Amino acid sequence: MGKLKLHWQMLIAILAAVVIGLLFDIKTTLLGVSLYSIFDFIGMLFLNALKMLIVPLVMSSIIVGIAGLGGSDNLGRLGAKTVGFYLCSSLLAILIGLLLVNLLSPGVIDGEAAGSRLNLSEPEAVSSQLVAVEGRGVGDITGVFLRMVPPNIVKAAADGQMLGLIFFSLLFGVFMTRISKEPAQTLLGFWNGVYETMMEITLFIMKFAPLGVLGLVAKTILATGFDAFQPLMMFFITVVLALAVHTFVTLALVLRLAGLNPLKHYRAMLPAMLTAFSTASSSGTLPVTIECVEKNAGVSNRTSAFVLPLGATINMDGTALYECVAAIFIAQAYGLELSFVTQFTIVLVALLTSIGVAGIPSASLVAITVILGVIGLPLEAIGMLLVTDRILDMLRTSVNVFSDSCGAVVIARSEGEQGLLV
C-alpha cells in the first residue's frame, strides 16, 4: 500500500469498506468486540487528528500569507488589485455553491432529511446544538461580528470559536509588517516555521487517511447498508455542477469583460489544470501554473511571480465553494432550515477559511471542521464526505489553479501588458 499514491489507497479503502458492508452487519463481533465499535474507533481517531490541526494550521497559514503580501515591495497598487480580485472571485464561487445547494437540496431525499441514511446520530448534546442553529435569525447578525472580536483570543481558540481566531490572524499578519524590520523578520520566521511544520504534520496524518476512510465508511455501511450513497451522489453532483458553472460561466465572463479570450486561456492553462487535477495540490502545481501563464498566456514574470504564489496561498475558489456546499448539505441532512444569518455566517467563514487552507490534498477537510464548529453543527458527518472527497479535491484544485491564472491575466491586462491572449 505504501507504494501506491494516496488516492489509490483511499479508493481501495472505500472498496474494502463496501466489501465489509456486504459480508458483515452491525451485530458482527471480533474477539468479543463489535466490528462496528472497532471501525468507529478508527474513524473517530482520524477525525480527532484532523481537529487537532485546526488552530495552528489556520492561524499560521493566514498570518504567513498576509505578512508575505504586506512585506512585498510590490504591495501598493498590484497588491490591492490581486487581493481584490481573489476575494471577489472566491465570493462569487461561494454564492454559486450556496444557490445550487439550496436549489438541489442534496441532503433531502424523497422529501426527508438524509441523516438516517448517513447514520448521523442525534444525542441530546447534538439536539441542543441544532436548536441553537435553527433559532438564529436576522436580528442575530450583529453577533456574527461580535464573535469576530473575542475578548479572550486564547479562550476563543480553546472553545472552537474560530471566527475570532481567523480575524485576529488577519490583523496580526497585516500589522506585523508595520513594525521595525528585525522583530518583524523574527516573527515571520517563527510563523513560517509553524506553518511548514503544520503542513508536514498534515501530510503525515493524511498518510493514515485510508484507514480513516475505511473506519468511517465501513461504520456507516454496517449501520445503514447502502442507503448513504444516494444523498452522497446528489452531493457529488451538486458540487461538480457548481464548480462547472464557476469555471465555464463566471470566470469566462470575467475574462471576456477584461477583453481576453476565454477559449484561448482554457487551452493555455490545460497543462496546469491537468497537473492540479492529478496532484490535488495548488502549491505543488505552482511551477507549472507560472510556466503556462508566462509562456502560453503572455503574462510578464513581474506580474506572475507576485500574483500566482499569493494565489496559491489565499485564492481557493473551488475550496471555498466546496466548504459552503458541504456545510449546508450536512445541515440539510440533519433536517435544518438555516436562517439568513446562519447562511451569511457560512459564506463569511468559507471566504475567510479558504484564505487559510494549505495548498495540499484534502486540507479543506480541516476548514470544514472550522465552519461546522462556528455555526454549531456536529462534526461526525465529515466522515461521509471522505467517500467522494478525493475526486472532488482533484476537481476543486483545478478550479483553484484556473482562478489563480485568471487573476494573473486580468491584472496583467489592467497593468497594460502586451502579448496577452485576446
Q: Over the stretch 380-407, which tens digit does the pLDDT of each residue have?
A: 667 677 777 767 887 898 999 999 999 9
Flag whether 151 is in a domain: yes
- Whole-angstrom distance between the N-terminal and C-terminal Cα of the chain? 47
Q: What confidence tens digit (pLDDT) does each residue in 284-317 have?
A: 787 788 888 988 898 887 788 778 877 877 788 9
Q: What is the mean pLDDT of residues 318-334?
A: 87
pLDDT given for residue 285 in this prediction: 80
What is the C-alpha separation between 270 and 278, in angstroms, rounded?
Answer: 12
Flag whether 422 is in a domain: no
Which range of 163-167, 317-321, 339-343 scores highest in mean pLDDT? It is 317-321
Which range marks the domain in which residue 337 is found?
6-414
pLDDT given for residue 85 in this prediction: 93
pLDDT given for residue 99 in this prediction: 93
Bigger pLDDT: 41 vs 111: 41
- Residue given cell 441532503 in the structure block: 107
**Which of 112-121, 195-204, 245-254 shows the lowest per-residue confidence on average (mean pLDDT)?**
112-121
pLDDT given for residue 411 in this prediction: 92
Give the contacts of 37 (CB within 8 A, at least 6 positions apart): none
pLDDT given for residue 408 in this prediction: 92
Q: What confidence tens digit (pLDDT) does each residue in 341-373 have?
A: 778 878 887 777 776 555 555 566 667 777 777
Find the angle CA(136)-CA(138)-CA(141) to the nearest 5 degrees: 85
Find the angle CA(92)-CA(357)-CA(229) to the nearest 5 degrees: 75
Flag whether 204 is in a domain: yes
- Indicate which CATH number applies to the domain containing 26: 1.10.3860
Flag whether 419 is in a domain: no
pLDDT given for residue 287 in this prediction: 76
Flag whether 207 is in a domain: yes
What is the C-alpha separation between 328 and 320, in angstroms, rounded?
Answer: 13
Q: Give the whole-number percent of the chain exceeding pLDDT 70.
A: 79
Flag whether 1 is in a domain: no
pLDDT given for residue 288 in this prediction: 82
Q: How many domains would you assign to the chain?
A: 1
Across all residues in the chain, what is the average pLDDT?
79
Flag whether 370 is in a domain: yes
Flag whether 58 is in a domain: yes
**Which of 145-149, 170-174, 364-368, 370-374 shows the lowest per-residue confidence on average (mean pLDDT)?**
364-368
